[in-house]
Amino acid sequence: MSKLKKIPKFKSEDDEFEFWSTHDSTEYIEYSKGKRALFSKLRPSTRTISIRLPELLIERLKLLANKRDVPYQSLLKILLMERVEKELHIIK
């Protein structure tokens, strides 16, 4: 591969965005030497909502969560995500 160009210093994020929008990054970065990065501390954005559930449902969730050794709110999110994904795959 030919010699890589030097990445310029940018005054702002907007300047950097504009630069990369008009330049080929392969002329500046050797991607074959890259290493996989893990960002284990990243969490998806969340929003707090309020939902009314029957007490019996909450108690059953707590029982299931206790068996799995997870908080019941986390179990609820897992179950909701599984069901939503299942529904979306059926629709496609």
The pLDDT assigned to 43 comes to 83
Write the burial class of residue 21 (CB in 10 Å: 0-12 exposed, 13-18 middle, 19+ buried).
exposed
Nearest to 77 by CA among 68, 42, 91, 56: 68
The pLDDT assigned to 21 comes to 94
- φ, ψ dihedrals at 18, nearest 5°: -60, -40
Give me the residue spans of the domains in the chain.
Answer: 13-33+51-91
Q: Which pLDDT tens digits describe the chain residue by residue (92 residues)?
A: 578 999 999 999 999 999 999 999 999 999 888 888 888 888 888 899 999 999 999 999 999 999 999 999 999 999 999 999 999 987 65
- How many C-beta neighbours within 10 Å does residue 86 have? 9
Dihedral in degrees, nearest 10, Cα atoms 62, 65, 70, 71: -20
The pLDDT assigned to 92 comes to 52
Query: Where do runs of H (alpha helix) occur along 1-92?
Result: 13-22, 55-68, 72-91
Predicted TM-score (pTM) of this structure:
0.51
The pLDDT assigned to 74 comes to 95
